[in-house]
Amino acid sequence: MSDVPVEDLAPDERFMLAGRPDLPVATRLALAGTPDWSELLIHHDLEPEVLAEILTQHPEARADVAVHPNADLELMETAPLDQLIQPALERYAGRRGLTGERESAFRSGAEAARGRGLTLGEFWREFSES
């Protein structure tokens, strides 16, 4: 990485930089304020503070951040169930304290509920009442 501030890099350089898995948090935070913020979302281990910074800098990114595996639980619950990838569902279940058979039931129930137009929060309420 260079010592040039990310804001001063050419768009294609910022895009390539954002895709790197080995970036320090400070660089990711700086990239969160650029037009290339969305490239950061490919990292399933993206730090919650970077996701928060993306939302601060780009409030219109709420739906994109909501489906990220490390999104805030309340925000994740606003996401359409159909748009959540398996790692997001697994992390959500883990953060809700589900293990073993209950976690397996959650994941298979979520898969069965796809196509019903539910948000994750709506599905969670149904699941937790069952």
Question: 40, 64 in Cβ contact below 8 A?
Answer: no
Q: Whole-prediction pTM value? A: 0.87
Beta strands in 69-123 (DSSP E): none
* Confidence check: pLDDT of 1 > 80: no
Q: Is residue 2 predicted with pLDDT exceeding 80? A: no
Task: Say whether pLDDT at 4 is over 80.
Answer: no
How much is the average pLDDT of 15-25? 90
The pLDDT value given to residue 6: 86
Question: Is the distance from CB of 38 to CB of 61 less than 8 angstroms?
Answer: yes
* Closest to 110 (Cα-Cα) out of 87, 25, 97: 87
pLDDT tens, 28-86? 999 999 988 999 999 999 999 999 999 999 999 999 999 999 999 999 999 999 999 99
